[in-house]
Structure 1
């Protein structure tokens, strides 16, 4: 079978890069006789200073040029890995191509301000995004990363449940616990003493991430005169959040670490004592898995998809209940047995979330869409093709669509 993975532009979305890389790796492992072709749009040249013109060029490239190029490619199945590129499904349907789309979340339908706060052309961006995401209804099948997102797709886009398959995200093997002696060096590097409670928040600053509750928790812990420090990665604090830190004299116990590499992020997870992830909404919640894979206890919300991911391996609270979060921090720090038990539960839970498992579920979706005879012919043809390619070391191809 020849599968075309329709990716986002390089660095357009870090989380989509992680998803696409993991899915491709898993597919190549569990279906080595298949040919996996990765389609990637070329970057759009920008004119310095002309933000409106640059925005229009990006719209043209993403919503016209790239779909035309994707449509011109040959494959048995096209898999659009981001629902924000759902508009491509309109084009592929017209070409009678079998199409699968992964939907990660529909937060922008529920909270349109997420688009408005980031876009240079907010009204245009919101309208186009809505048009694009509604395109996933044109796909032959939809993959969602959680049952909660599947429910949203059913209710908000009026998609029948039988057209949806839940295939959770996974965690890379890179995320793992480090030996204690390494952790001492890491803490010294980040100037965090051994007796300091190190909290960690990872991700964007969208309102749904509920970063202010993390800051209120930090303030409450400081008022109790506990040694505590907060590390933040991903998006920097907003102006309002920085004002809060200044007003409550919390700047000395907060460090913003920017957008680290994956390897550095693993190090940061290991340095932290607790991941703070009290989101109001998550389509999945990758940071919860990543922290547990590193042996870091997690405090997260009891809403949306987060209970699916966390299971019984994290502390779940109401997202705005600062007192409950403070109490959870106390419990983790004062009860060694409890902390060890939660850490072990997390390490055991993440074993079920592998890219090979996810890829197997997705591969079965592909196969269910292919007529039996066509699937057999495709398998024989591509087995022969790959046998020939293996002689020159080719297992997959990557097309930059220009």
Structure 2
């Protein structure tokens, strides 16, 4: 069988969640399947070494302009050129005019829902959401099968798009074995020096999307920091002005020096931050899965996350679950995770067990079973 996998953005240097999922799925499929022939369709970019060709995995660089033109025009042309039997599109959208069977990974339908709080999305993100809102209701009717990443999201997709249970299969994301392997002391010390981390710190993976709940997280940390004067908060992916505006609004700009802003971080830096953080904060309003929860747990870092959406499905009983709409409850979660040694250790011990339930090998095997089942229909 010739299986095409759309992985348009995986060569870009600053990868986001869906890009990472596609990369890890391809790597895991390369380990377990040496029978089928794969064609990985990517857009040329800087990081062309994130995956490698093998005997039955071919990397096909597809030229094109913006991602809509690449997906709707160029991808179908190359799918026909290589004579694939099935195309798996990995990131919510797919070509509307396609002549081969289509499997779509629909990570979530967040883009179909009303924005929570002030919309701070970039123009690029807003355009992407409009594109998905227009395309996805049409494309799901053309799919041979749909994959999503959590039971919660399956229910959301059925509710929002009116699909049937048997049209969708849940295939959980996995966590890489790299998470849990602590960087050597030289890398750790270098990272701490570069970021001026001198004592205890919490970690929060920031994003301008409203659903990431930056405002409540910042407010909650300030309340915590007023009592715990030696703890810093590392926020990746955000500029200082984003947080300073929040602090100014609540009259706490003097706390800006308690925040550390490394911007986009490399994997080595991220591994160090996960490993060395005293608490990992993930009180999001809405997630399709929540992979960072497992990544932090693999390092034995206590997690404070939301008691809604997909977070409880991923975290189980191994995290401190809080109401993300309540600043006071987020602060309380931080305090217990940091100060209650007995409960903290219980969560750490439970957290070490969670990643083994979500592996990329399992993900790849389930996907392979779906490929083979649908191609034989």
Q: 1:130 to 1:328 in 2, by over 3 A?
A: closer
Contact 1:68-1:91 within 8 A present in 2 as well: no
Contact 2:119-2:210 within 8 A present in 1 as well: no
Write the distance in 1 (CA, Å) between the matches of 2:85 and 2:107. Answer: 23
Q: 1:115 to 1:371 in 2, by over 3 A?
A: farther
Q: Displacement of 1:327 after TM fit?
A: 2.4
How many residue pairs were aligned?
351
Q: Which residue does the alignment assign to 2:24?
A: 22
Write the distance in 1 (CA, Å) between the matches of 2:40 and 2:177. Answer: 22
Query: Cα deviations across residues 215-257 of structure 1 (Å, max 9, x unaligned)?
Result: 1112111222532210011233564x32233541111110111
Q: Which residue does the alignment assign to 2:78?
A: 69
Q: Which residue does the alignment assign to 2:301?
A: 296
Q: Secondary structure at the match of 2:3?
A: strand
Q: TM-score, normalised by structure 2?
A: 0.84
Q: Which residue does the alignment assign to 1:385?
A: none
Q: TM-score, normalised by structure 1?
A: 0.79
Write the distance in 2 (CA, Å) between the matches of 1:162 and 1:238. Answer: 47
Write the distance in 2 (CA, Å) between the matches of 1:61 and 1:183. Answer: 39
Q: Which residue does the alignment assign to 2:97?
A: 91
Q: Displacement of 1:171 after TM fit?
A: 1.0
State the structure with bigger RCO (CA 8 A, min sep 6), 1 or 2: 1
Q: 1:311 to 1:238 in 2, by over 3 A?
A: farther
In the alignment, structure 1 residue 231 sits paired with structure 2 residue 237: no
1:39-50 correspondence runs (5 A): 39-42=41-44
Q: Displacement of 1:190 after TM fit?
A: 3.5
**Structure 2: 5+ residue stretches without partners:** 46-63
Write the distance in 2 (CA, Å) between the matches of 1:219 and 1:288. Answer: 22
Query: Cα deviations across residues 59-90 of structure 1 (Å, max 9, x unaligned)?
Result: 4334323333334432232110011x23x1x3
User: Mean Cα displacement is larger for which, 336-345 or 164-173?
Assistant: 336-345
Cα RMSD of the aligned pairs, angstroms, is 2.7
Q: Displacement of 1:177 after TM fit?
A: 4.7
Q: Secondary structure at the match of 1:276?
A: strand
Specify which of 321, 333, 336 is matched with residue 328 of structure 1: 333
Q: Secondary structure at the match of 2:232?
A: strand
Write the distance in 2 (CA, Å) between the matches of 1:349 and 1:308. Answer: 11
**Structure 1: 5+ residue stretches without partners:** 44-54, 373-402
